Structure 1
Amino acid sequence: MKKIIKKVEKYYKSKEVSLFFYPLACLLYESGAKEEAFDLLVEGVAKFPRYLLALIKIAQILIDEEKYEAAESYLETVLNINNSNVLAWELLALSYEKQNKIEQAINAYEKLLVLDPSPKVKSKLLSLASSYTPNVEKVKEDLAQNSSIQKPLNSKETDTSDIVILDVEKPVETKKQEETAQNLEQNKP
């Protein structure tokens, strides 16, 4: 593995601007040089800020180091660039879950479920949703702040503010049909 790393590193250093920082960083990370791999990824992302694989790898490293908030930032950047990246949604949901941000984790798993309707994702979402109890005070506060919610009408009340009455004359054919129907009824035995 060291020979491969040296060859890739030599090639990477021979180029002024190269995307080879990513495979080199992955090799370094797998060989145990995690700090060097992380630094190389950050340096590469500074040159190529929309390189999704590198952004995701940085987030994975941060999650491995339990730096979930920092990982969130990188994953949100990925999702701003490509909102259908399954791995980014998966890692973001995991990051939220590890921080006990259950509501955000549920939302992330719901979005992931649309992209990846696998039994694993469904199971995880059901597990989180069944254990989640919303903060009642927060719900009350949200309801109080939302002024657009009105009390429901009683069964005897009618909201007439949006009723429009149009004065429309019936077509001639309809009038003739009604007259014919009335004549038929009058002539019944």
Structure 2
Amino acid sequence: MKNYNNLITKYKSQLEKDPRSKVFAPLAEIYRKVGMNDEALALLKRGLIHHPNFSAAIIVYGQLLLEREEIEEAYTVLKPQLSINGDNIKFLKLFAHSCFKQNLILEALNTYKRVLFISPKDNEATEFIVKYDNFDSIENEDLTQKTFDISNLDDEIESWSTLSLVPQVKEEPVVEDKPKSEPGQIFSHTLVDLYLKQGAKQKAIEVLNSALAENPEDQRIQDRLLELEGQDEISESKGREDLMAAFESTAKKLEQKPKVELEKLTMAFELFESYLKKRSSEVLNG
């Protein structure tokens, strides 16, 4: 196990000099890594009183709670921070894990879609969306029994020591940031591509339509929507042509049939044609 004694001594000394210092977050992370979980929790709770929206501390706190299987508490801690940390991939993945652990699949799914929006090549987000996008079909499955490894959320501890957490002058009174407004429709062309790879063209079209409503001047969205809808029209047209060709072929064969049999087939064809018109009217009129 790595020796963190020097860092622990350094951070504790800084906290003794200034109890409001933000070094409580990296110190708590060290405590978590070496298994001093109770000390880490106590330190985080004290520090978050002074810095309630400090993202680094919230992430350590949430990860620690998940590791201790305090799932509901982790969700309760992370949920209010979503609007502030909506562009923080590490936070979003941690929140998605807390949702998944409680079988809140839709919420986890939407969170991973946000990750994919920020980082289109993120494998974890892509795999989750592919697996659970049609979660209605697995709604009754007990997903909380699945193992979810959160160890990949760890960063090297050296990254904490490079942060500017210890100003040389006394800190000014904390002015909390105003929460950022959450985007309504999480959209990326990667999500459209993902739906198309799954063969869910209609979902891709729905996503593009929603995006176009919010960004009516976006030429790329317009082009992709026209392309997909155009494919449907071509497919529809080809279907009609194939049907008419089949009718013509059948008509030629009917000319060679005896008159009585021909009358029966004509009657059957008229009934079939009547059904097609009725069905077409139902579809067109909703």
Specify the alignment match of 1:89 in structure 2. 92
Q: Following superposition, which runs of at least 4 residues in structure 1 exceed 6 angstroms of deviation? A: none
CA contact (8 A) 1:25 1:41 kept: yes
In the alignment, which of 7, 14, 20 is matched to residue 4 of structure 1? 7
What number of residue pairs does the alignment pair up? 142
Gaps of 5+ in 2: 140-280
Q: Distance between the aligned counterparts of 2:78 and 2:138, measured in 1?
A: 25
Per the TM alignment, residue 64 of structure 1 is displaced from its structure 2 partner at its CA by 0.8
Residues 131 and 10 of structure 1, relative CA distance in 2, 3 Å threshold: same
Specify the alignment match of 1:30 in structure 2. 33
CA contact (8 A) 1:94 1:105 kept: yes
Q: Distance between the aligned counterparts of 1:155 and 1:65, measured in 2?
A: 55
1:127-166 correspondence runs (5 A): 127-130=131-134, 132-133=136-137
Could you tell me which amino acid in structure 2 is paired with residue 125 of structure 1?
I
Per the TM alignment, residue 7 of structure 1 is displaced from its structure 2 partner at its CA by 2.7
CA RMSD of aligned residues (A): 2.6
In the alignment, which of 56, 61, 65 is matched to residue 62 of structure 1? 65
Per the TM alignment, residue 16 of structure 1 is displaced from its structure 2 partner at its CA by 3.9
2:134 is aligned with 1:125: no
Per the TM alignment, residue 99 of structure 1 is displaced from its structure 2 partner at its CA by 1.3
Per the TM alignment, residue 11 of structure 1 is displaced from its structure 2 partner at its CA by 2.1
Per the TM alignment, residue 156 of structure 1 is displaced from its structure 2 partner at its CA by 9.0
For residues 3-42 of structure 1, the C-alpha deviation after alignment (integer angstroms, 9 at most, x for no partner) is: 3312321221122421111121112222221110111011
Could you tell me which amino acid in structure 2 is paired with residue 129 of structure 1?
D
Gaps of 5+ in 1: 136-152, 158-189
Q: Distance between the aligned counterparts of 1:130 and 1:156, measured in 2?
A: 28
For residues 47-76 of structure 1, the C-alpha deviation after alignment (integer angstroms, 9 at most, x for no partner) is: 111211101110011111112221112222
Per the TM alignment, residue 115 of structure 1 is displaced from its structure 2 partner at its CA by 1.4
Q: Distance between the aligned counterparts of 2:31 and 2:18, measured in 1?
A: 19
Q: Distance between the aligned counterparts of 1:131 and 1:72, measured in 2?
A: 20
Residues 98 and 155 of structure 1, relative CA distance in 2, 3 Å threshold: closer
2:107 is aligned with 1:104: yes
CA contact (8 A) 2:105 2:132 kept: yes
Greater relative contact order: 1 or 2 (C-alpha under 8 angstroms, separation 6 or more)?
2
Q: Distance between the aligned counterparts of 1:132 and 1:56, measured in 2?
A: 30
Q: Distance between the aligned counterparts of 2:108 and 2:20, measured in 1?
A: 37
CA contact (8 A) 2:65 2:74 kept: yes
2:77 is aligned with 1:74: yes
Q: Distance between the aligned counterparts of 1:125 and 1:60, measured in 2?
A: 22
In the alignment, which of 14, 18, 24 is matched to residue 15 of structure 1? 18
CA contact (8 A) 1:56 1:74 kept: no
Could you tell me which amino acid in structure 1 is paired with residue 51 of structure 2?
F
Please identify the structure whose Cα radius of gyration is greater.
1
Could you tell me which amino acid in structure 1 is paired with residue 69 of structure 2?
E
Q: Distance between the aligned counterparts of 2:282 and 2:41, measured in 1?
A: 63
Could you tell me which amino acid in structure 2 is paired with residue 127 of structure 1?
K
Q: Distance between the aligned counterparts of 1:124 and 1:154, measured in 2?
A: 38
Q: Distance between the aligned counterparts of 1:88 and 1:74, measured in 2?
A: 12
Identity %: 27
Per the TM alignment, residue 130 of structure 1 is displaced from its structure 2 partner at its CA by 4.4
TM-score if structure 1 supplies the norm length?
0.66
Q: Distance between the aligned counterparts of 1:132 and 1:156, measured in 2?
A: 29
